[in-house]
């Protein structure tokens, strides 16, 4: 366990030292504030409008940004060490591949969680300073947003690990990560909505729900856009999702399951990887 802590601590320190975590947290906070503040501009005013609208806006921001950030953080995890030549050295130590993977993931997961918490939390504090916190359920809504965003990030971090563990070269892992982001965050939703419209209600509810949880980004969307606070501000899939019988607990479990599954895949590929 000391070795696991040492590996995790190194990843954490690397991320703090190269200011990765700081830039992500700052970027997230600034974007969150801009969106929360100017989001209602279309309706003719600026400033904190309603909790529901703010949470929906921030969730939409998070679902684009956080998967990308997580993929960029994790795509080098295995293939980067292999290309640098340090993987051969580390594996000659009394460290199993599983431990190495778990330690690196723990460090990256903490780093990502800290960046998200500081970024979104910072935005929440800034909004609270303008009096927005008086809205009922402000803090619980933000806590839920931060928590679900962290889970979203972890699922995509695990995906990045799975890609990294199987990739021959760093460039290939990066290309796959980018393709995964495009596919899961942008294309999947469009195709799903399109199919829904084209089928004109002939898609059974269970299939639709299964398709929603088959993508961690959509599980996150349903979790946040289907929530009580978001009922008043719906759009796209959120409206459809409201009718779906997917409880928040189930969606959280789905995000955790994706993380575990993809991390398992990363381990499976890493063990088979020639050094």
Partner 1 sequence: MSELLAIRGAEVRFGPVAALRGLDLSVRAGEVVGLLGHNGAGKTTTMKLALGLLRPQSGSVRLLGADPAGPEGCRARARVGFLPENVSFYEMLTGREVLRYLARLKGRPAAEADRLLEQMGLAHAADRRVRTWSKGMRQRLGLAQALLGRPALLLLDEPTVGLDPMATAELYATIGRLRAAGAGVVLCSHVLAGIERHIDRCVIVGHGRVLAAGTLEELRARARLPIRVRVRGRWSEPPLQGLGEGEGVVARRINGHQLELDVAPERKLAVLRALASEPGVEDLDVRPPGLETLYAHFDAMLHRGPHGEGA
Residues at the interface with partner 1 (CB under 8 A): 2-3, 6-7, 10, 14, 17-18, 84-86, 88-96, 274-275
Residue nearer to partner 1 on the CB measure, 18 or 23: 18
Least distance from partner 1 to the Cβ atom of residue 109, Å? 19
Least distance from partner 1 to the Cβ atom of residue 125, Å? 32
Least distance from partner 1 to the Cβ atom of residue 74, Å? 17
Which among 144, 143, 78, 69 is positioned nearest to 111, based on CA atoms? 69
Residue nearer to partner 1 on the CB measure, 95 or 178: 95
CA distance 227 to 231: 7
Least distance from partner 1 to the Cβ atom of residue 264, Å? 19
Residue nearer to partner 1 on the CB measure, 201 or 274: 274
CA distance 81 to 243: 46
Least distance from partner 1 to the Cβ atom of residue 272, Å? 11
> Locate tokens 């080098």: which residue?
76
Residue nearer to partner 1 on the CB measure, 2 or 45: 2
Residue nearer to partner 1 on the CB measure, 18 or 247: 18
Least distance from partner 1 to the Cβ atom of residue 164, Å? 17
Residue nearer to partner 1 on the CB measure, 44 or 85: 85
């Amino acid at each position: 366990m000391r070795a696991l802590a040492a590996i995790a601590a190194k990843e954490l320190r690397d991320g703090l030292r190269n200011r990765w975590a700081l830039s992500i947290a700052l970027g997230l906070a600034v974007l969150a504030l801009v969106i929360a503040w100017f989001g209602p501009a279309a309706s003719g005013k600026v400033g904190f409008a309603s909790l529901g609208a703010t949470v929906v806006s921030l969730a939409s921001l998070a679902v684009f940004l956080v998967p990308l950030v997580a993929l960029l953080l994790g795509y080098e995890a295995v293939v980067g060490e292999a290309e640098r030549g340090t993987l051969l050295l580390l594996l000659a130590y009394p460290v199993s591949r599983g431990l190495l993977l778990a330690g690196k993931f723990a460090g990256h997961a903490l780093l990502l969680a800290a960046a998200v918490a500081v970024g979104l939390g910072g935005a929440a504090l800034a909004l609270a300073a303008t009096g927005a916190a008086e809205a009922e359920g402000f803090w619980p809504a933000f806590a839920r947003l931060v928590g679900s965003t962290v889970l979203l990030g972890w699922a995509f971090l695990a995906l990045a690990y799975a890609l990294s563990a199987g990739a021959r070269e760093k460039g290939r892992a990066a290309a796959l990560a980018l393709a995964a982001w495009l596919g899961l965050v942008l294309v999947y939703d469009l195709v799903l909505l399109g199919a829904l419209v084209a089928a004109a209600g002939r898609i059974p509810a269970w299939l639709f729900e299964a398709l929603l949880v088959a993508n961690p980004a959509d599980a996150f969307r349903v979790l946040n856009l289907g929530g009580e606070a978001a009922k008043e501000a719906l759009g796209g899939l959120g409206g459809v999702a409201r009718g779906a019988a997917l409880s928040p607990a189930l969606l959280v479990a789905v995000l955790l399951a994706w993380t575990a599954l993809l991390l398992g895949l990363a381990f499976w590929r890493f063990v088979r990887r020639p050094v």
